[in-house]
Structure 1
Amino acid sequence: MTDTIDRAGDYVDEWNEAMINAARTAAPAGPSLTICIDCDEEIPEARRAAAPGCKRCMPCESDHQQRTRQHG
């Protein structure tokens, strides 16, 4: 019998993967910025490579998405 926590963990993993794939296909056109539009800090190369067209560092993007969902 599958444990409820294991099923919940599997669901979260699947949901996260779906959100990552959706973000990749909906990425804005053009090059990534090197400086975050919210905090003015450098956006790491790994982030720019993983999310072409990004305009925010990962912490600011997470905050932005959370605000968007709350007010969306």
Structure 2
Amino acid sequence: MAGGWSTDGAVQEQIDSTLDDAVQRARAQLPRGESLNHCQECDAPIPEARRQALPGVRLCVACQSAHDREQKQASGYNRRGSKDSQLR
């Protein structure tokens, strides 16, 4: 049941949209092509086992970890906002 100006199913549509966005963002970040022998950021050698496990890898473990931390910090937005911001 919807309330106010929203239609029935609006909450589910918003949830589905958020999930679709997250899946598209994750797919866009998947490595493609041939793996590099040396890290794109620091030029450190990328081990053969990592290159075979992750086809298309471009970063060493240390640089990839730093990149993942940055992405995690930037991805935490709430499409719906807080209730306080909606009441203003």
Unaligned runs of 5+ in 1: 1-22
Matched residue, 1:33: 36
Unaligned stretches of 5+ residues in structure 2: 1-25, 76-88
Larger CA Rg, structure 1 vs 2: 2
Question: Aligned with 2:68: secondary structure?
Answer: helix
CA-based RMSD:
1.7
Superposition misfits of 4+ residues, deviation over 6 angstroms: none
Aligned equivalent of 1:71 = 74
- TM-score for the superposition, normalised by structure 1: 0.59
Match of 1:56 among 40, 56, 59: 59
Identity %: 46
Q: CA offset at residue 59 of structure 1?
A: 1.3
CA–CA distance in structure 1, aligned partners of residues 63 and 52 of structure 2: 17
Classify the secondary structure of the residue corresponding to 2:39.
coil
* Matched positions, count: 48
| More RCO (CA 8 Å, sep 6+) | 1
Q: Which has the higher helix share?
A: 1
TM-score (norm 2): 0.49
